[in-house]
Structure 1
Amino acid sequence: MVRGIAEHGYRCLPAFSYMIGALNVGITYSIMVNKVDCRFMYYFLSLGPCIRGFAHIRKVIVVDDTHLYGKYEGVLLSAVAQDTENYIYPISFCIFDKDNDASWTFFFENLKSIMVDGPDLCFISDRHNNIANGIAKAYNHAHHGYCISHLGENLWVNYHCGEKHYLFYKMVKIYSLEDFSDHFVGFKNYCPEAAFFLEHELGFENWSRAYFPSNRFNVMAINIVESVSAMLIAKREYPVASIFNLIAKRFGEIFRERHAYVLK
């Protein structure tokens, strides 16, 4: 769905989308511009093979953003999953002008058109309010969990757990509610303020594996999506069309390599 004509380095996006769509059956994309001055605001893209293959992937979507720099600026968002062999699986990419509630809502509304809402679906992200608000507006049944790496860093900086900081990571990965309770009591004795924050301000269900209402599998952090962002870092100062051209080219190569491997 094209919603306008983008300006200032983004004019070629509609043509680019049609071109890449011819090579990727089932592609989904959306462009939105400001109606007043026709300046580019949002662009969402998900390749056809990525959409179709998600039916066979663990229903855990990891989202994160990275800031672009140079002449065009903006924010690049990536959403990825993980297959049963722990390979990173790309789902969709989005670029927006500003990191706010409106842009994240645009992303999740477009994502919902290809990733159906349901209690078996969950999202993993950092504790970004805009992400949480976007998920809440678009998805009524999916669950949202926090990245334990970012949360652990927050505890280290703000609550100074010292040598007992490792207890947090032990609690996170426990499956049994009984074992979790035992470990949490021990953690609470050493770091009462951090324990209060984890229990009453965040809630166990948002970060612990034992209380999480869906299956996070082994996806406890957002490092897989950060790996994708790192792969694209060299193009972050380029126009948007160049960035998405790299995305289509690189992941097209990966899909072909994996397909050849499977055929053997």
Structure 2
Amino acid sequence: MFNSLHCSPSYWKCWKGGVVAKEMVRGTTENGYSCLRVFSYMFETVNVGSSYCLMVNENSHRFMYYFLAFGACIKGFAHMKKVIAVDGTHLHGKYEGMLLSAVVQDTENHVYPIDFCVVDKENDASWTFFFEKLKEIVVDEPNLCFISDRHKSIANGIVNVYNHTHYEYCMRHLDENLCVNHHCGDYLYLYYNAAEAYSLEEFDNHFSRIQEQMPRCSRLP
């Protein structure tokens, strides 16, 4: 601004100008929400086999949840590992909210997305909605496994929707729990040896050492 216009506006004025410029190019947040139905129609038309669902409040008719899955991702899931990682991340915008997602890995361990869902916050209702829509794409079967952090609403959502799948906690989040809450950082190598075991016999051998070195942690639910 100083080099081009020879003026020195305040930081607040520069930030506000950036907001106005983005709205001129991309449109306002409210306009984006109002275009969701049109966007969904065009999205499904261009991406054949895709799935989407827009849920609004019955009384206020305001946005609640938006679920989206590309047709190519739905078809490709048949060739992926049947271990699904689910998680949520915060959205930084005018209305905030959460972005829920489910991903898997291919045979070369590349991350492969399945679907996305924008919700107001992580609770039982939003995660149950997410898994209900996911179940239309990913069939409930014993050979399927979900991986997540220890958020209770994720566990509740899986229990409410999927009856035959397995559900386990993420190794990294259990790692953090052992370090932060139980101060077992010196023995984490024992935990990883057990977690990465490929046979029940190998796991039992490593877990017996965990019971010796970390008896209290070995009894955690």
CA distance in 2, matches of 1:48, 1:96: 21
> How high is the TM-score relative to the length of structure 1?
0.70
The alignment partner of 1:165 has SS state of helix
CA distance in 1, matches of 2:102, 2:202: 33
Structure 1: runs of 5 or more not aligned:
1-6, 202-264
CA distance in 1, matches of 2:150, 2:85: 13
Runs (4 or more) in structure 1 with deviation over 3 Å come to none
CA distance in 2, matches of 1:8, 1:189: 60
Kindly, what percent of the aligned residue pairs are identical? 60
Q: State which of 89, 110, 115 in structure 2 corresponds to 1:92.
A: 115
The alignment partner of 2:159 has SS state of helix
Aligned to 1:120: 143
Aligned to 2:174: 151
Aligned to 2:165: 142
Residue 178 of structure 1: how far off its partner (Å): 2.1
CA distance in 1, matches of 2:207, 2:83: 26
One-letter code aligned to 1:153: E
Matches within 5 A, 1:32-71: 32-71=55-94
One-letter code aligned to 1:59: K
Residue 9 of structure 1: how far off its partner (Å): 4.5
CA distance in 2, matches of 1:185, 1:56: 36
CA distance in 2, matches of 1:36, 1:80: 34
One-letter code aligned to 1:57: M
The alignment partner of 1:104 has SS state of helix
The alignment partner of 1:152 has SS state of helix
CA distance in 2, matches of 1:38, 1:9: 15
Alpha-carbon deviations, 1:64-113, whole Å to 9, x = none? 11011221200001111111122211100000012100000000000101
CA distance in 1, matches of 2:78, 2:206: 36
- Aligned 8 A contact 1:9 1:72 in 2: no
Aligned to 1:15: 38
Aligned to 1:111: 134
State the aligned residue count: 192
- Aligned 8 A contact 2:123 2:153 in 1: yes
Matches within 5 A, 1:1-264: 9-197=32-220, 201=221
User: Which structure would you say has the larger RCO, counting Cα contacts within 8 Å and 6 or more residues apart?
Assistant: 1
Structure 2: runs of 5 or more not aligned:
1-29
- Aligned 8 A contact 1:8 1:39 in 2: no
The alignment partner of 1:44 has SS state of strand
CA distance in 1, matches of 2:134, 2:107: 22
The alignment partner of 1:131 has SS state of helix
The alignment partner of 2:100 has SS state of strand
CA-based RMSD of the aligned residues comes to 1.3
Q: How has the CA–CA distance of structure 1 residues 79 and 69 changed in structure 2, closer, same or farther, with 3 Å as cutoff?
A: same
> How high is the TM-score relative to the length of structure 2?
0.83
- Aligned 8 A contact 1:59 1:81 in 2: yes
- Aligned 8 A contact 2:84 2:104 in 1: yes
Alpha-carbon deviations, 1:15-40, whole Å to 9, x = none? 11111111100110001111111121
Residue 179 of structure 1: how far off its partner (Å): 2.2
Residue 8 of structure 1: how far off its partner (Å): 7.3
